[in-house]
Chain A
Amino acid sequence: MAIAELRNNSVEAGLDALALPVGGRRRRRRRILRVVVPKLVAAACLLGVWQLAVSLHVSADYVLPSPGDVWQTFIDQARAGNISEAVWTSLRHGFEGYVLAVLIGTPLGLLIARVRMVRYAIGSAVAALQSLPSVTWVPVGIIWFGLSQTTILFVVIMGAFPSIAGGLVSAVDNIPPLLLRVGAALGAHGVARYRHIVLPAALPGYVAGLKQAWSFSWRSLMAAEIITTGPSLGLGLGQLLDQGRVQVDMRLMLMAILVILAVGVLVDALIFAPLDRTVRRRRGLDVA
């Protein structure tokens, strides 16, 4: 018996060892190089084409300024403190609206996912809102709330919450039935069922919704800021862009667009992409 037991143990240990993956992780530095270099090359090509068009005098300076001029404008604006102020103002507005959208979208998504009557009543309406461009809410907001920060928040919320609710609904819908069954078999009922089974199982889809909602709220924010300008609203990136339009300063406009793009990309790359990757990697889901 003892010998048989021992033999079994070693067979089992051998099987277990065979199950473990072979080879170490790929070197991080090389991976970063492989990811970053193509991006830099693409950006350089784009800049080259732009500079070439300027050098060939395709159009007048005030229509198409050179990359160098735009860079100089950036330096000047940064020295004057306008860039940091605008980025800060916009990020604050965007963040406030986003948090409110999360607070509205999350319980709404759960209700739609779990309560059949709610799903029938407003499920398709929320799905439809996802495809409605949020800029349509700007004129509505101006009438309702005037040229105020409330209007900007309103537009951001309307742009972002449908993605959050929709993401959560499809995440809950896609939970494998076996996990719910095993939850019931383990004795997870009521609140514990949500805390230990439903919410964690829905997390990857929910995070995907959060990520998408961020880009929607950033877009909505810019639409709102470009249209609603006023002394009480402070200087955001959208207002900076609109200043360029008023002053017919193409350099300022292009600069503002590039900063808007950079901030949106950076927030996604620094917060949402790593969050998404971590959640997926932990579960052994494919990480591209």
Chain B
Amino acid sequence: MTSLALAPRRIGTGLVDEVAVSMEAVGKVYGSGAERVVAVEGVDLEVHRGDFLCLVGASGCGKSTLLSMIAGLDRPTRGRIEVAEGRPALMFQEPALLPWLTVADNVALPLRLQKVARNTRHARVAELLRLVHLEGFARKRPHELSGGMRQRVALARALAQTTRLLLMDEPFAALDAITRDVLHEDIARIHVATGVTVVFVTHNVREAVRLADRVVMLSSRPGRVVAAWDVEIPRPRRMDSPEVATLSACVTDRLRDEIRRHGHR
């Protein structure tokens, strides 16, 4: 059973040693023969406990495949993935809430599946809804909420599963700019408050720099780790701050090089 421990987070120190996820020479091949596609190849990556890691890359770089494999929904064809934090929680681009359940019941579902007792469940759901600022919406149904609110319910549901490792697959890509900004502040705040480890996939470089402790870039077809940056910009950060803009420009340049490479083949 999990509880919402308010683990203190080290900010700006290099003292990270506990490994939450480790990947060794991970590869993923789909199909065979002429239709054989190498989605991911030779990925070595470590995610430290409490880290916020963003995976960026152009489309077709196997970001989502990598995330699915960490989540255990997909198996690597080569290499090894170790997740030290138990079953991770996964968030998609769509909120994927169950339309027949209320907001509170959606958040409670993972707890019910883990057979958490009713009283504990109620308390924990209330706590999680407060965390995503939706305490007044417990009895609403998903179709009554905006896209941003639904995604916050999905975040609360993911956190109900675990407060240790959260995998996010372009969770804010379908939202408008202001809503996305607000959700960035929410996830940054929750990351600090809960000490959860986050692996966040995005094609939006600025978003990655805005949120991450570390940005890792994957090449496309096959997906390989080609570059990584430690983001040492102090928090709270803003999407439009000069520091974020400078590092984003640097990452974007590298990404353009990577994409250009494909045009020359």
Interface residues of chain A, those whose CB is within 8 Å of chain B, are 1, 4-5, 8-9, 11-13, 15-16, 18-21, 178-179, 181-182, 184-188, 192, 196-197, 200-201, 203, 282-284
Contact = CB atoms under 8 A, between A and B. Distances in A.
Given A8-B185, A178-B96, 20 more contacts: A8-B182, A9-B133, A15-B178, A20-B144, A21-B144, A178-B94, A181-B92, A181-B96, A182-B92, A185-B71, A186-B109, A186-B113, A187-B114, A187-B161, A196-B98, A196-B112, A200-B98, A203-B100, A283-B141, A283-B143
Contacts of B90: 185
A22 to B, nearest CB: 13
Contacts of A186: 109-110, 113, 157, 161
Interface in B220-265: 236
B75 to A, nearest CB: 13
Interface in B94-123: 94, 96, 98-101, 109-110, 112-114
Q: Which 9 A-B pairs have the closest CB atoms?
A: A284-B143, A19-B146, A182-B96, A283-B99, A185-B90, A8-B185, A200-B100, A187-B113, A186-B110
A283 B101 CA distance: 8
A15 B146 contact: yes
Contacts of A188: 109, 113
Contact of B98 (A4, A9, A197): A197
Nearest to B114: A187
Nearest to A186: B110
Interface string B136-159: 010001111110110000000100
Given A4-B236, A200-B100, A15 B179 contact: yes
A61 to B, nearest CB: 57
26 contacts: A1-B236, A8-B186, A12-B186, A15-B182, A16-B134, A16-B137, A19-B145, A21-B144, A181-B73, A181-B92, A181-B96, A182-B92, A182-B98, A185-B71, A185-B89, A186-B161, A187-B114, A188-B109, A196-B98, A196-B109, A196-B112, A201-B100, A282-B99, A282-B100, A283-B143, A284-B142
B9 interface: no
Nearest to B189: A5
Contact of B73 (A12, A19, A184): A184
A9 to B, nearest CB: 7
A147 B178 CA distance: 73
